[in-house]
Structures are given as structure tokens and as C-alpha cells.
Amino acid sequence: MKISVTDRGSGVMFEFARAIGANIQGRFIYIPESKGAGYITGFSWGNELRMAIRNYYLKEDVFIERTNELAQGQEDLVFLLSGIFPSLAHPGETLSPEKANIMICRHAVSSIMAMPRDTVFGSVTIAISK
């Protein structure tokens, strides 16, 4: 599945949820059983500090093509800590863990996010306004 998103500073979480038919309950986005399992949640403290938590796996490959169009003067730093949660795998499931890594970048970077199927994504992303 390929999803194209224009991010104007608030992230891609809700566009991803809409594209896969996820159930949104308050701050939580629950991955439907037909697409995988787990959740995404996020917190925002104004425009100065945002955090997203991913803890899920998908049953099909997903590519998110993300184009950033930030407001004039908006410069965020993004910290991504991946592979930090225990596996969601149940006995008998063949899920691969996400490789543990840390990424620090400017939010202005447009990107393609690849999420291979049967991979457990357990990460925290923090965006801080400069």
C-alpha cells in the first residue's frame, strides 16, 4: 500500500490511520486486525513539543511518501528512537523486530517511510521547535 501525505507541521499519524481504516479512540489509533495489531498514540504540548509512540505491526508493506510544507519560520528538530519496545509477537507468529536505532534530523526533510509487513515497530518520535 502506498500513501502520499503532505505534512504541514502536524505529522502523518491521522492520514496513515485513515488510509488503513484504523479505529481512533481519543489519543489512540488502533490498528485493525485485518491490517495487523497494536497502536499509535501522540501527545502535544502546543507547537513547541510533540511526541508520537508507535507499537504495532502490519500484515502488508506500507510506504508513506511524505512531503513537508512547514509554516514560514517553523524549524523543528526530530528525535526518533526505534526498536525500543518488547515484541508484540505471540507464540507461533513470525514477526521480525524493528532494528534499534536513533535518528536526529530537521523536520523539514521530505521522505519516504517504508514499513515492511510482519515487522514490529516500537518507537518514540519527539519533535521540538527550535
CATH of the domain at 54: 2.60.40
Strand locations in 8-118, DSSP E? 23-25, 28-30, 36-45, 49-58, 62-68, 76-82, 96-97, 101-106, 111-115
Domain count, the chain: 1
pLDDT of residue 96: 86
Which strands form 62-68's sheet, in the order they lie side by side?
2-7, 62-68, 111-115
In the predicted model, what is the mean pLDDT of the chain? Answer: 84
pLDDT of residue 38: 93
Cut 0.75: pTM above it:
yes
3-state DSSP assignment of residue 81: strand
What percent of the chain is modeled with pLDDT above 70?
85
Domain span at residue 32 reads 2-129
